[in-house]
Structure 1
């Protein structure tokens, strides 16, 4: 089947059905035999999502009226993406995209006309796109306004970073090997990487590689995890003999890192509301030969699963807008809505309030999100501290991120990291 048509069908699931790009690609990838074709389909889908707001504006300038057929619209966007951002030869991009319309003669002629018009008028249309804010930076208007409101000085850089492809970062399993030794293993395979100076387990690759090329991956020597997410384990500062609770744990990267960083825990309990995602936690731990007690349960309703024994450490990786990882999941710009933020803020508050009684006196709760919005981060923690007289903030002194009155914020792209937020709270 035409790889552009496969990409268009995956994008249709995102645009029309609200499916995540990851799920949409998981659905179509088994139908593609060639590794090269799979990579091409992935590049098209991620690229169109990343630059959707610009491409959609350009398409609107080339049409007399909006396209109702979503598959055809996706093909047109794929064609425009190839012409503007990829190294595909223009004649091949046009002819192959037109051919993907297959049994719809009207669509073939329309896509052909749109793409050829773009090639003729490219400079003029690109200038028009640069004048329209959402198209110029390829973000929805509501998100532009929100980020500019929260971070007027950093907003432009955040928008630029959101449109960049992220680096691939490895977490070396320090319970099994040293970072220096693993760096040597990479060098032997001509995989270039650099250590991250403020995170003892992190190696950032010069360019992404398939995980099956990573030495010792299947044996558990290494995992893929952004540097910002790796900071959680060292901030939690777990000690031998402690009980640790990981709330909203799936897919389990931080769960595994906590176990790697402190093999002498009394117990680690990982909880997530999604049974399918909890299965991924189990698979990750199996690969790394690590053990935790895995529970499927609602973090906002712990009485349904808690055994009554308190924990000395709790990691709450709170459900959030994920606006700090847009560069990894550009479909967030298409799927997230302004009204989602208040709902997530309410959910975060409910979980914080529900989980707090599970923390032992003098215990530490680490609150984390992969968001850059103040509502989900520092404002959430400010409100929590005001409402709980037995809670106090533990300042985070670090060379990374930006210290806030409450917690510490990492901006997307800062030190090549994803956007993240952390706050440490101790129970008096």
Structure 2
């Protein structure tokens, strides 16, 4: 297919995302069902993620050229937003090519009135230029529009971290995410995996963050023989830290309370020895996701130490009335704000009420599973968000109502953020160019 087809596929993908599809899954599906060459795949990926990442900014510009209150069909709006993104953020594509493709798409998918409308808007933008965001008088709105982040999130982060740190995070999350993998230490070593990946043509860097982590460049990690053979799996570097914080011993009985799709389950399993009785029990609400955990465990050759089952973590007492665990991981359901770089549409889907509602669920899970921890055992609570509502506030509320638990300092293989003054570990997207994550370690008193 040609570059022009990549633009058309971008519009179609964005329209499906607007109707509820996840951007990463939709993009993978679109690429899998096309015969785009590498250059066009990169362009398609850039157009989809770039347009979503900058959507509030692009929409602010677009509204200056549309009648007040005029509602556009989603696909028409996406035609214009994709064109606008290329005009403003990509410097190697001439406006003529951008305009021709957008107008042709409008002609092919709409009536003559839509074609004329798209043509008129694009030429007006080209003639007049877009509004200057710096002239927005309200500082909160200016940050929101500049970095395409909803105002409530800008406010929340500014209150937590201050404006300078917030701006640093906002600048980072609109950059492409790095590709990282976790070496499966159950079957190989990091040194061996690194050498094989370099022979296969990958550019490989050691992770600054995670003990078993590597950063790859050059081609998708899923194309590697090491991935196909289960010697590594795709996982963000910061997502590896909760399991490191568990300090797994080979014979531990571990509960992974919110386990799907199984990345952390298999990381736990890699540190266990079934000959010493080591096992991880992995829970998820849905049978379909439990099967996914089992498939991942089989691919990574650790199925002999993984017991995956469908169960609401809030009901563990019903299933494990007479059983306790040495270690428990609660990688809790959360707003996912730390994943914005990989799932940029998250920022537009979430509300403050969502975060508050999730806090209630998180506390309920912690309360339930905490009763299943052995004395002197370790419970690690983690999320992939950067909001205190779901992080530090949850830990504080749990400790306030569970005097048989105490906070202990999170330790990781590479001693990440060694100079921090908190027991908990918060990783922000601008710290190491990774996903945002929060990790807390709670010990049951002896």
Normalization by structure 2: what TM-score? Answer: 0.89
**Residue number in structure 2 paired with 1:413:** 430
CA RMSD, 1 decimal: 2.3
Supply the distance in 2 between the matched residues of 1:216 and 1:341 (Cα, whole angstroms). Answer: 38
Q: Which deviations, in whole Å up to 9, do the C-alpha atoms of 1:365-391 show, x marking residues without a partner?
A: 010111111111111101111100110
CA distance in 1, matches of 2:195, 2:373: 41
Tell me how far apart the structure 1 counterparts of residues 350 and 218 of structure 2 sit (CA, whole Å).
Answer: 27
Counterpart contact for 2:24–2:342, Cα < 8 Å: no
| Partner in structure 2 of residue 194 of structure 1 | 205
**Once the 2 structures are TM-superposed, how far is the Cα of residue 220 of structure 1 from its aligned partner?**
1.1
Tell me, yes or no, if the aligned pair for 1:302 and 1:355 is still in contact at 8 Å: yes
Q: Which moved more, 1:380-389 or 1:297-306?
A: 297-306
1:144 aligned residue: 154
Q: Structure 2 matches for 1:21-420, cutoff 5 A?
A: 21-25=23-27, 28-29=30-31, 31-36=33-38, 37-65=40-68, 66-86=70-90, 87-101=92-106, 102-104=108-110, 105-122=112-129, 124-125=131-132, 132-152=142-162, 153-205=164-216, 207=217, 209-264=219-274, 265-291=277-303, 292-306=306-320, 308-397=322-411, 399-401=415-417, 403=420, 405-420=422-437
| 1:336-371 CA-partner distances (Å, limit 9, x unpaired) | 122111011111111111111111111110101111
CA contact (8 A) 2:173 2:341 kept: yes
Unaligned 5+ runs, structure 2 = none
Aligned-partner Cα distance in 1 for 2:289–2:44: 25
2:207–2:214 contact (8 Å) kept in structure 1: yes
Distance 1:208 1:391 in 2: 46
Instruction: Kindly provide the CA deviation profile for residues 236-283 of structure 1, in whole angstroms up to 9, marking residues without a partner as x.
Output: 111122211111111111111111122345321100113333332222
Query: What does the per-residue CA deviation read over 1:12-57, in whole Å, with 9 as the maximum and x for residues that have no partner?
Result: 2333x33322344456455423244554333222111111110110
Q: Distance in 1 between matches of 2:28 and 2:215?
A: 26
CA shift for structure 1 position 7: 2.6
- What is the total number of aligned residue pairs between the two structures? 426
Q: Distance in 2 between matches of 1:85 and 1:41?
A: 14
Structure 1 unpaired stretches of 5+: none
For residues 323 and 243 of structure 2, the distance between their equivalents in structure 1, rounded to whole angstroms, comes to 22
Per the TM alignment, residue 134 of structure 1 is displaced from its structure 2 partner at its CA by 1.7
8 Å Cα contact 1:167/1:416 also seen in 2: yes
The separation in 1 between residues aligned to 2:372 and 2:380, in whole angstroms, is 13
Following superposition, the deviation at residue 411 of structure 1 comes to: 1.2
Distance 1:300 1:48 in 2: 39
Asked if the contact 1:118/1:125 (under 8 Å) is kept, the reply is no
Measure the CA separation in 2 of the matches of 1:197 and 1:46: 26
Shift of the alpha carbon at 1:142?
A: 0.9
Query: What is the alpha-carbon distance in structure 2 between the residues aligned to residue 328 and residue 373 of structure 1?
Result: 17
Distance 1:198 1:10, change over 3 A: closer
Cα pair distance change 1:89/1:308, threshold 3 Å: farther
Shift of 1:210: 1.4
Q: CA 1:253/1:208 → structure 2, altered by over 3 Å: closer, same or farther?
A: farther
Could you tell me which residue of structure 1 aligns to residue 22 of structure 2? 20
For 2:37 and 2:132, the matched residues in 1 are separated by 35
SS at match of 1:235: helix
For 1:372, what is the secondary structure of its paired residue? coil
Further displaced range: 265-274 or 316-325: 265-274
Give secondary structure in 2 for the equivalent of 1:245.
strand
- 1:10 and 1:197 map into 2 onto residues whose CA distance is 34
